[in-house]
Copies of this chain bind each other. A is one copy, B any other.
Amino acid sequence: MNQYISDNKDRFVNELLDMLRIPSVSADPKFKQDVLRTAEFLAQKLTEAGADKVEICETAGYPIVYGEKIVDPSLPTVLVYGHYDVQPADPYELWNSPPFEPVIKDGKIYARGACDDKGQMYMHVKAFEVMMRNNALPCNVKFMIEGEEEVGSANLATFVKNNREKLKGDVILISDTGMLANDVPSITTGLRGMSYMEVEVTGPNRDLHSGLYGGAVANPINVLCQMIASMHDENYHITIPGFYDNVQELSQEERAEMARAPFSLDAYKKALDLGDVQGEAGYSTMERTSIRPTLDVNGIWGGYIGEGAKTVIPSKAFAKISMRLVPNQTSEEITEKFTKHFESIAPASVKVVVKPHHGGEPVVTPTDSVAYQAAAKAYEETFGVKPIPVRSGGSIPIVAMFKSELGLDSVLMGFGLDSDAIHSPNEHFGLFNFMKGIETIPLFFKHYAEMSR
């Protein structure tokens, strides 16, 4: 198989570049046609790779691309999940090359979606082709690639509920996470959940002249800043009543185990050009980004933000605020607590509206499962070292949904790096990582099929 991989490497990369040229931004309606084109592109590639029953399944939102290869119903079935939509690319001016005109530089592919998740998802399509062309597909495989992951997978759960038979399988395989370093492979065993809210604060019923009214009327921007500021205390604990009630505290042993993963605070600060890190008192940086919940403002706007100066007290101010959740918090619980709290701290001088966007549940995946063991063995063979299990700070809400709706665990074989700048300008994905994925995935299938006997 490795011969076939090296013979076809350039084509594999070029096909990914073609997909990256389609701006499939699911958050912004103006890219609708591009998102749909990406689904068609993908269906085409799955068919060419050898999949049967390839189908672009309509949903209330963007479609889900399905395809399968059943070699023998008595063999286990791996259900591959990924997504073909990408994050918005703005701010465009911070990209060194246009986000949807991929370029290869220093062995890395630069483009929005290069890693998250087009690059990692496409490794599976090509690994599938490799196994097919070499008559080496050792078990059944099904693909379910969605187009709404970056906006909360609003229609995926319904699709899964309505297609339990079609999606029947033994394990879910996902590459939408990262590893510690190219020489320190790791497998993600935990993910944070999320509650994402949008808030609106209204002061006066119209924009006012800040000279004639300043000092006597609540300025919704100042008030919003006050409310946001009050949601962290001086130790960066979140002050929403009951926020930590269901947070699972790890044992000293578990924390000591986590601390064994290689990490350099100096390198971390240097990479981000930080004067200092900042976070919840009593926890390390690794812990703050994995086993602890957070509250971050992802966007804020209000008043005059154009050139020059405008002396206005705006009528409204807005913010997008998301909270990352850990076991055993639930997005429903936290969304409710946030809403209740935000409304309760609003002064009489303003009106507030709280609108929940999407949510997702935190998960911890078992490391003693056949699937995890098979994945670990595959990494060890291609990287030459045992992968480290790590809990990630990111969220893949659908992992919890798959468990509850299909009763299946997921194995998270990520090949990206934290430095890939996903969700940021200049997102990229190493050719090394892309190819390592294509090499490692068939080995997972091999070991998983064998160990499942």
Q: Which of B150, B308, B347, B426 contacts A206 (CB 8 A)?
A: B426
Cα–Cα, bound, A418→B306 (Å): 25
Please state if A29 and B204 are interface contacts (CB–CB under 8 Å). Answer: no
A213-B393, A349-B277, A418-B212 known; A310 and B306 CB under 8 Å? no
Q: Which of B209, B217, B317 contacts A300 (CB 8 A)?
A: B317
Which partner residue on chain B sits nearest A209 by CB separation?
A: B423
**Residue A192, interface by CB 8 Å:** yes
Contacts of A29 in B (CB 8 A): 307
**Stretch with Cβ within 8 A of B (4 or more), from A128-136, A157-165, A219-227, A247-255:** A219-227
**Residue A72, interface by CB 8 Å:** no
A215-B292, A221-B297, A229-B225 known; A349 and B274 CB under 8 Å? yes
Cα–Cα, bound, A319→B306 (Å): 11
Chain A residues 282 to 315 lying within 8 A of chain B, measured CB to CB, are: 285, 288-289, 292-314
Q: Mark A199-221, 1 if CB is under 8 A from B, else 0.
A: 00001111111111111111101
Number of copies: 2
Contacts of A348 in B (CB 8 A): 275-276
Contacts of A208 in B (CB 8 A): 272, 423-424
Contacts of A312 in B (CB 8 A): 298-299, 423-424
**Residue A189, interface by CB 8 Å:** no
Cα–Cα, bound, A293→B304 (Å): 21
Q: Which of B211, B350, B395 contacts A393 (CB 8 A)?
A: B211
Please state if B212 and A306 are interface contacts (CB–CB under 8 Å). Answer: no
Cα–Cα, bound, A230→B91 (Å): 29
**Residue A241, interface by CB 8 Å:** no
**Residue A358, interface by CB 8 Å:** yes
A204-B272, A215-B324, A320-B304 known; A311 and B289 CB under 8 Å? no
Contacts of A14 in B (CB 8 A): none
Cα–Cα, bound, A131→B297 (Å): 61
Please state if B285 and A216 are interface contacts (CB–CB under 8 Å). Answer: yes
Q: What distance in Å separates the Cβ of A259 from its nearest Cβ neighbour in chain B?
A: 14
Please state if B222 and A289 are interface contacts (CB–CB under 8 Å). Answer: no
Please state if B210 and A322 are interface contacts (CB–CB under 8 Å). Answer: yes
Contacts of A91 in B (CB 8 A): 207
Contacts of A302 in B (CB 8 A): 297, 299-301
Q: Mark A324-348, 1 if CB is under 8 A from B, else 0.
A: 1000000000000000000000011
**Residue A9, interface by CB 8 Å:** no
Q: Mark A351-371, 1 if CB is under 8 A from B, else 0.
A: 100000110000000000000
Cα–Cα, bound, A422→B211 (Å): 11
Please state if B310 and A87 are interface contacts (CB–CB under 8 Å). Answer: yes
Contacts of A349 in B (CB 8 A): 274-278
Q: Which of B228, B305, B314 contacts A222 (CB 8 A)?
A: B228
**Residue A55, interface by CB 8 Å:** no
Q: What distance in Å separates the Cβ of A60 from its nearest Cβ neighbour in chain B?
A: 16
Cα–Cα, bound, A394→B299 (Å): 31
Cα–Cα, bound, A348→B300 (Å): 22
**Residue A232, interface by CB 8 Å:** yes
Contacts of A430 in B (CB 8 A): none
Please state if A309 and B297 are interface contacts (CB–CB under 8 Å). Answer: no
A-B contact pairs, 6 of them (CB 8 A): A28-B306, A204-B273, A208-B272, A215-B280, A225-B228, A309-B320
Known: A151-B308, A298-B312. 18 other contacts (CB 8 A): A27-B310, A94-B207, A196-B309, A198-B309, A204-B274, A206-B424, A207-B424, A208-B424, A212-B392, A218-B276, A222-B232, A229-B229, A275-B348, A275-B349, A299-B310, A299-B314, A300-B317, A305-B318
Closest 6 pairs between A and B when the two form their complex, measured CB to CB? A211-B394, A27-B308, A299-B303, A229-B229, A205-B273, A215-B288
